[in-house]
A and B are shown apart, each in its own frame.
Chain A
Amino acid sequence: MSEFFTTTAIVATLASGIRLSAPFLIAALGESVGQRAGVLNLGVEGVMLIGAYAAYNTALETGNVLAAVFVAILMGVLMGAIYAFITVVMHAQQGISGIGIYLFGLGITDLLFQKQVGTPKPIDGLQSTSVPLLGDIPTVGEIFFRHNALVYVAYLLIPVVWFVVNRTTFGLNIRAVGETPEAADTLGVSVTWTRVSAILIGNGLAALAGAALALEIGIFQYNLTAGQGFIAIALVYFGAWRPSGIMAGALLFGIVSSTVLQWKTLGIVSGSASSFTAMAPAVLTILVLVVVSRRIGQPSALTKPFDRSD
């Protein structure tokens, strides 16, 4: 145990906690935008997988990380368009439609991986870049400022999402449509387009989260995301639909995951004990959901389809 409480070990754990929190954060921020508009998307996990595979495959073919990210987001938006059509235009039940998207993402990425790649081939993923000056600060620099670009992007998204939702007309429409779509409709706000846009943004970000994961570890495999998309949904509830709350949740999960990894590497836990600690994120999710089951701040129209004629 004592080997864990050395400065190096703690710094490494915190730094990798921040790194691991990035996919949670990006996906959960995206999901929160959709939910603020009244749309629950349980398919985040599937879209993350699609984003991860799209990024992996593009990077493998072209060696261009930027192109990989771009293709991933594009695929996410495409999935968003499908989901928006099913739920907003056709008024299908959101819960079951999201599960469909998840199963589709899980299956199609495995199929394509088997067909197109076959044996696992590593790619050159994202390299960490040290932020000039800040990265040189001892300890603090190591923890916060020596990450890959997508980690910075994830944390920059927090104020961006906050600003869009709380300070733009589009954000005002999103909040109104998620709370009282009838009222928005009578003021000439298009409930359909507002929700569709929110879904496209959410799915684009979910795919970006998947890309962040694949490019960070440099491989793809079946079910690469291993439930992170579902945890991201739980984080939206945990964060009470606020970007700052979501960040706190993502950090918590990132640090728990990195601690578990660190303990394993240092041999603090081994054998059957290590499989128990590996369950920590899952247990934590359940605890989080129990604690936040009060749902204060939940958009009133969440999961409710809108149809003017009734």
Chain B
Amino acid sequence: MLEMRGITKRFPGVVANEGVDFTVRSGRVHTLLGENGAGKSTLMKILFGLYRPDEGSVHLEGTEVEIRSPADAISRGIGMIHQHFMLVPTLTVAENVALGLGGAWGSSDLRPIRQRLVEVSERYGLEVDPDAFIWQLAVGERQRVEILKALFRNARILVLDEPTAVLTPPEVTDLFTTLRQLRDDGRGLVFISHKLHEVMEISDEITVLRDGRIVGNTVPESSSRESLAQMMVGRPVLFTRTVQHHDPGEDRLVVRDLVVQGDRGNLAVDKVSLSVRAGEILGVAGVSGNGQRELAEAIFGLRPVESGGIDIDGVPAGSLAPKAVRSKGMAYVPEERMRDGVIGEFTVAENLVLVDHGSPPYTRWGFLRFGAIKRQCTKLVQRYSVKTPMLETLTRSLSGGNIQKVVIAREFSCGAEVLVVSQPTRGIDVGAAEYVHEQLLGQRAAGAAILLISEDLDEVLQMSDRVAVIFRGQIMDQLPRSEATAMRVGRLMMGLKAE
């Protein structure tokens, strides 16, 4: 029903799509598989009228069409669930759905909308309260609102950009039930993901994108996780990493009944108690926005502690400034690496010494010593295989994976033995992610105590010795690795205690 032919899209410095052909057929789920940065979102944003292609054409039911804006795409029956939700948090569910439906001056009577909302959500198992404000909803519910928005606009083609990235395993199962139902209605679905087991499960057809180009077209029946991964990354990928078991040492980081406020004065961290031992990775799993950011910031002294205590090696370290926390041997890999991890306008070298730049050997009598800085940075760039043209390159021009390597290089090389690591592989390519994981395991083997906070459940399950699950600021449970199955942890992430 829809065909994109020879699509090319260039951004300054990158070709996001190059000669891409892509078709959507009614009653089929067509998966677009590719690494971060492969160009999947760009291709779909072109389809939805958010970007204009530099070359190529879009054909709908056999006739060439030009999609100038999202309004254009909607009127042609194309709906899109964006990777970053497009919802107005201060409006209700019904208002979000109503947005853009009425004429400019009509009075917005929400009653018919609310009624249809109930009907449609029952039919597709998309349960949601029409009068709830978006900010009150959990991530999974927000996604249902996004799908409802598209259905309300009679989308015959539905694009879902990484819909499972934010969901727990039980929620993914529910989403797939809905998707199958939509497909059986005769709609054409585009599913975007880089999680292979999901792709194998839901797809009728798979197209693999790498560096903006199509590198393969296949069906799940004639492919395996290994073959898909190889196509996606361009080389064989390790799936199961065997983490050597070893006995952890003493408690290094202890958090007792920690209470921390969120940005809106809400209770973000609610009496959290954790302890991390030397040579151990404690994974904190949870759906985005359940207090993980506030927890990490409070431990590192970036956010005031309301009550409770934080000890490093038995010495109280609550409410210290980050500099003092660092001097106690803690290092921090923040989740927002561009905002809190590096200064984008600084060079790679400047970012690498940002913590130590004020002390010898990098400074003498208040003057920076460029020779010493350069020697150290050359070493770090090699050791952590940061791909940068020069030490003087501006950090923001590196890829996400290499920026993360800069942060890791700086934080892991300063001799800290307690590491707080947030979302270390979010948005970076498979190669860089593998590398970050290796470094974490290396630190663990060297005896560091690591608190790994991640919204990527696979990552937590793969890396951790123990798994703690956080929900609405509370630790639901802590499980040893042997008992932490995806389904069990997934249920805890949704706030469901063991049945």
Contacts and interface: CB of A to CB of B under 8 A. Distances in A.
Contacts of B91: 172, 175-176, 179
A189 B96 CA distance: 12
B71 interface: yes
Contact of A183 (B87, B103, B105, B107): B87
Nearest to B100: A187
B107 A180 contact: no
Interface in B421-448: none
Contacts of B82: 186
Contact of B105 (A170, A175, A309): A170
A170 B102 CA distance: 9
Contacts of B149: 187
A183 B88 contact: yes
Contacts of B95: 172
Given A168-B108, A169-B108, A309-B51, A186 B103 contact: no
Interface string B120-153: 0000000000000000000000000000010000
Contacts of B165: none
Nearest to A308: B50
B472 to A, nearest CB: 21
B41 to A, nearest CB: 13
A182 interface: yes
A169 B88 contact: no
Interface in A274-310: 300, 308-309
B108 A186 contact: no
Given A182-B86, A186-B50, A188-B70, A171 B108 contact: yes
B107 A188 contact: no
B106 A188 contact: no
A124 interface: no
A168 B100 contact: no
Contacts of B103: 169
Contacts of B70: 185-188
Interface in A188-230: 188-190
B51 to A, nearest CB: 7
Interface in A120-141: none
Nearest to A173: B99
A186 B80 CA distance: 9
Contacts of A168: 105-108
Contacts of A179: 88-91
A158 interface: no
A175 B85 CA distance: 17
A167 B105 CA distance: 10
Contacts, number: 77
Contacts of A170: 104-105
Interface residues of B, number: 31
Nearest to B84: A182
B23 interface: no
A180 B133 CA distance: 14
A184 interface: yes
Contacts of B285: none
Contacts of A190: 71
Nearest to A189: B100
The A interface, classified by DSSP as helix, strand, loop or mixed, is helix
B484 interface: no
B74 interface: yes
Interface string A38-68: 0000000000000000000000000000000
Contact of A180 (B69, B87, B98, B108): B87
B105 A188 contact: no
Given A175-B91, A179-B88, A187 B106 contact: no
Contacts of A185: 70
Nearest to A188: B71
Contacts of B99: 172-173, 176, 183-184, 187, 189
A308 B46 CA distance: 12
Contact of A169 (B71, B86, B90, B104): B104
A294 B101 CA distance: 34
Contact of A187 (B50, B51, B74, B90): B74
A185 B87 CA distance: 11
B48 interface: yes
A167 B90 contact: no
Contacts of A183: 85-88, 96, 99
Contacts of B104: 169-170, 173
A167 B108 contact: yes
Contacts of A308: 50
A169 B110 CA distance: 10
Interface in B56-81: 69-71, 74-75, 80
With most chain A CB atoms within 10 A of its CB, the pick from B90, B99, B105 is: B99
Interface in B225-248: none
A226 B48 CA distance: 50
A171 B110 CA distance: 13
Contacts of B50: 186, 308
A157 to B, nearest CB: 18
Nearest to B152: A187
A162 to B, nearest CB: 13
A170 B107 CA distance: 8
Contacts of B74: 187-188
B89 A169 contact: no
Interface in A77-104: none
Contacts of A187: 70, 74, 86, 99-100, 149
A-B pairs, top 4 by smallest CB distance, nearest first, are A188-B71, A187-B100, A169-B102, A183-B86
Given A184-B88, A184-B100, 15 more contacts: A169-B102, A169-B108, A172-B91, A172-B108, A173-B99, A176-B88, A179-B88, A179-B89, A183-B86, A183-B96, A186-B48, A187-B86, A187-B100, A187-B149, A300-B89
18 contacts: A167-B107, A167-B108, A168-B106, A169-B105, A170-B104, A172-B91, A172-B102, A176-B88, A180-B86, A180-B88, A184-B100, A186-B70, A186-B82, A186-B86, A187-B74, A187-B100, A190-B71, A309-B51
